[in-house]
Amino acid sequence: MEQKRREFLKASGLLAGGIALSPFTSYGFNSQVDDMIKVALIGCGGRGTGAAAQALSTKQNVKIVAMADAFRDRLEDSYKSLTSKKYKDMAGKTVEGTAKVDVPDSRKFVGFDAYKEAMALADVVILATPPGFRPYHLEEAIKQGKHVFCEKPVATDAPGIRKVLEVAEIAKKKKLNIVTGLQRHYQPNYREAIKRIQDGALGDIVGGQVYWVSGGVWVKDRLPSMTEMEYQMRNWYYFNWLCGDHIVEQHVHNIDVANWVKGGYPVQIQGTGGREVRDGIKYGEIFDHHCLDLVYEDGTTISSQCRHYEGTYSRVDEAFVGTKGRIDSFANNNTVLKDYKGGVIYKHEGKGDGNPYQIEHDELFDAIAKGEYKFADAERTAKSTMTAIMGRMATYSGKLIKWDEALNSDINLFPDKLAWDAKPKVLPDENGFYPVAVPGKTRTV
């Protein structure tokens, strides 16, 4: 136990960094639980709660010790879900949620600054707020010397991405693990197929298509009691400072697979997009479709499509062509690499494969327990998020956007002040409509 604990402290840089407040003594847990890994959940929506449950379902001795959210109701719902669930302890025995979720009212933190206090009480933080907050929360977590599980995307604008890239460097120096929720990297059929593609099974990858075309997501009503800030926070999907548009929030998964397969990031993007069916006042400022050419350094173009239209063809998937063969789909965990004569180069049948959302946490907590540093997720996820933001820059402006100008953009979407009575930068007109980008007119870099 002692050995493990020491390794953990050393690995996490806490001893070397001379940080006085050891996470193991800061809370007064007694010695019988000294191998316990304490987790703070920052962002208590459905996904954050799910991530917390996955952290509690790893083989390590994990406890949730603090929770933070901007809204008290979201936090309480999450607390209720987590404590009503059953988990397994280290010995494999089923225990009640209350044994694993030790969050009295004094460790429930509500508001825009709640994350800082919650993080201070933990060894590992789960960041699952809307993505606009991610750069600031990541920065604080690494500053405090915490390991991180954070959801994708990791920012919504270029200044946010630059911050995450800086933080990723510091995390690397401090040997703090950051696992991000691009779960395809933890999904066996993707891992196996792409490993073979990178080993040359399909020759050079010279084209492909990536898709997130589906029916769209939830919309929340505006209540008379809400300030503009609360309305945007509750309806975060439809505001770019919080969500980044659906091209960033969802399609980043597929764009990231294109980058993964190509082993790099696009040097330039042009594209088209707009609002075809999202015409009401309740849909904020985001587009409902984007279509991109992602052009890589070797000249390869991968096409990317995302849209939110109900009642249309839907596909959330990726396909690639190489000089020796092709891969048509990763959907359904089944993946086949084929040559052009119809021969099967590799076939992955995913029935019974592990849950990638669980594998993310299994690998993170295993690394933490062993005192290992091995995750380069933060930098990669920042750059894939940047690719999606660059796609939005291209469709909103109608211009050809180059990687360097996109990454160096100074357009910062984040509000100058976070408070319930503060004004976000984008506001509705007298009829309730938010300004929407007009290609050819809107400036995005």
Partner 1 sequence: MRFKYVVLGLVLMTGSDVFSQSKPANYSQKIPGTNQEYGMVAIPAGEFMMGSPATEAGRNEDEGPQHKVKLDGFWMGSHEVTWDFYDLYAFKNMEKEMAARFPDPEKSIAKTDASTRPSPPYVDMSFGMGRAGYPAINMTQYAAIKFCKWLYDKTGVFYRLPTEAEWEYAARAGTKTAYSFGNDPAKLGEYAWYKDNSDGAYKLIGTKKPNPWGLHDMHGNVMEWTLDQYIPDYYAQKAKGEVKDPYAPVTELYPTSVRGGSWDDEAAVARSAARTPSSPSWKVLDPQLPKSEWWMTSASFVGFRLVRPFKTPTAAEIEAYYNPPLIEDY
> Of residues 18, 28, 299, 311, which one binds partner 1 by CB under 8 A?
311
Per CB under 8 A, the segment of 18-26, 60-68, 80-88, 98-106 that binds partner 1 is 80-88
Interhelix angle 2-11/356-370, nearest 10 degrees = 100
Nearest to 183 by CA among 263, 262, 252: 252
Please, which of residues 238-277 interact with partner 1 by CB under 8 A? none
Neighbours of 361 (CB within 10 A): 26
Nearer to partner 1, 49 or 300 (CB): 49
Nearer to partner 1, 24 or 186 (CB): 186
Least distance from partner 1 to the Cβ atom of residue 358, Å: 8
- Spatial contact of 332 and 319, defined as CB atoms under 8 Å apart: no
Measured CA to CA, the distance from residue 18 to residue 148 in angstroms comes to: 20
49 binds partner 1 (CB under 8 A): yes
- Spatial contact of 167 and 332, defined as CB atoms under 8 Å apart: no
- Sequential DSSP letters for 288-351: SEEEEEEE-TTS-EEEEEEEE-TTS--EEEEEEEESSEEE---GGG-EEEEETTS-EEEEE--T
Please, which of residues 155-194 interact with partner 1 by CB under 8 A? 181, 183
- Spatial contact of 252 and 388, defined as CB atoms under 8 Å apart: yes
Least distance from partner 1 to the Cβ atom of residue 315, Å: 4
- Sequential DSSP letters for 165-191: HHHHHHHHHHT--EEES-GGGG-HHHH
Instruction: Give the contact letters, 19-48, x = binds to partner 1 (CB under 8 A), - = no.
Output: ---------------------------xx-
Least distance from partner 1 to the Cβ atom of residue 368, Å: 21
216 binds partner 1 (CB under 8 A): yes
- Sequential DSSP letters for 372-409: -----HHHHHHHHHHHHHHHHHHHHH-S-EEHHHHHT-
Least distance from partner 1 to the Cβ atom of residue 321, Å: 17
Per CB under 8 A, the segment of 26-34, 207-215, 223-231, 433-441 that binds partner 1 is 207-215
Per CB under 8 A, the segment of 68-76, 159-167, 238-246, 307-315 that binds partner 1 is 307-315
For partner 1, how many residues bind (rule: CB under 8 A)?
39
Residues that bind partner 1 (CB under 8 A): 46-47, 49-53, 78, 81-82, 84-86, 181, 183, 211, 213-218, 310-311, 313-317, 329, 331-332, 334, 336, 351, 355-358
